[in-house]
Amino acid sequence: MSTTFLGFIQQVINGLTLGSIYALIAIGYTMVYGIIGMINFAHGEIYMIGSYVGVLVLTALTLLGLQSVPLMLLLTLVVSILVTSAYGWTVERLAYRPLRGSPRLAPLISAIGMSIFLQNYVMLGQGARDISMQPLIAGGWRFGAEGGFQVYLSYMQVLIAVVTVIFMALLTLYISRSRMGRACRACAEDREMANLLGIDTDRVISLTFVLGAALAAVAGVLVGLYYGKINPFIGFVAGIKAFTAAVLGGIGSIPGAMLGGIVLGLTESFASAYLSTQYKDVVAFGLLVLVLLFRPTGLLGKPDVEKV
């Protein structure tokens, strides 16, 4: 096999890893947008908090002398999900619920304020510098001829893919099968009508924030483990990227967010390999602009008709 082809495979692997992370965060944007039609700007910060909680719990467990890696991973995920869900719920309660029914700009500005607040709150609590940690899971497989270009697939990348698929499957099941999931879909269809038919829409809205935050926590924990380095500013760029992914796939659509995340991850990975690393963000934002211009409904979205 030629080096070019192996290099391509390597970029696909890296892109899928990155894309899984984006997809997990993007779901939070897309669900909230689908139901209340606003961009939850603070979602990127929730992901960042999830990442911090993950590092904290892992450090604490290591200090306690826990040896089993799967158990540590599970505990970290559970605690991180618990804390960020609480954040998701509180953010909605404090910053968005009082503004329901006000002009469109008001919740958006409030969300930006919340995002700035959370970023600086974590910065005050944990400091602005990078926090690095020992890799929990090291090593991986190498494919390709000895001495030539080898494709590297780390165990961590496999773990990210597996965990992402598990959580996506759980979410899909929950949304399609459970009672609350059905209420969620009804609210996305027509919130007023759902309310008239006896669905507690406020509870559904809270639930979407909690679910989105939980998936963001998973992404945060995985990113912390993958890169081994976090700081309070990771939420901002990851937030815009994940939003791009959500728009790319069609905002409001959950499968769309998954697809959009993967497409964006691949694009970024190819851009940094074949164009330049410095401009990978420019490519990602450029992609967002292009999608909004030529296909504002995204890949899987439904056209949005404005009604009087």
Partner 1 sequence: MTLKRRLPEALSMSLLTALLTLPVLGVHLQVEGLKVALQGDARPVCIAMTAVFLARLFQEPLKQAYSWLNLGRLLPGPQRLATYRTPLLTLLVGAALIWPFFASRGAVDVATLSLIYVMLGLGLNIVVGYAGLLDLGYVAFYAVGAYSYALLAQNFGLGFWECLPVSVAMTATAGCLLGFPVLRLRGDYLAIVTLGFGEIVYLLLNNLDSLTGGPDGVKNIPKPTFFGLEFAREPSTPGGVTFHRFFGLDYRGGDVVIFLFLLALVLVLFILFVIDRLIRMPIGRAWEALREDELACVSLGLNPTVIKLSAFTLGASFGGFAGAFFAARQGFINPESFTFIESAIVLAIVVLGGMGSQIGVILAAVALTVLPEVARQFQEYRMLAFGLVMILMMIWRPQGLLPASRPRLELPQ
Instruction: State both tokens at 176.
Output: 């399609």
Mask: binding to partner 1, 54-93, rule CB under 8 A, as x and -?
Answer: -xx--xx--x------------------xx--xx--x---
- Cα–chain-centroid distance for residue 205? 18
| Least distance from partner 1 to the Cβ atom of residue 97, Å | 10
Of residues 228-247, which lie at the interface with partner 1 (CB under 8 A)? 236-237, 240, 243-244, 247
Spatial separation of the C-alpha atoms in residues 145 and 87, rounded to whole Å = 49
Spatial separation of the C-alpha atoms in residues 25 and 5, rounded to whole Å = 30
Spatial separation of the C-alpha atoms in residues 33 and 31, rounded to whole Å = 5
Helix (H, G, I), strand (E, B) or coil at 131: strand
Mask: binding to partner 1, 144-183, rule CB under 8 A, as x and -?
Answer: ----------------------------------------
- Residue 121 or 274 with smaller CB distance to partner 1: 121
Q: Does 115 bind partner 1 (CB under 8 A)?
A: yes
Write the DSSP assignment of 247-305 as a string of letters.
HHH-TT-HHHHHHHHHHHHHHHHHIIIII-GGGHHHHHHHHHHHHHHH-TTTTTPPP--
Binding site for partner 1 (CB under 8 A): 38-39, 49, 52-53, 55-56, 59-60, 63, 82-83, 86-87, 90, 94-95, 98-99, 102-110, 112-127, 129, 131-134, 236-237, 240, 243-244, 247, 278-279, 281-282, 285-286, 288-289, 292-293, 296, 306, 308
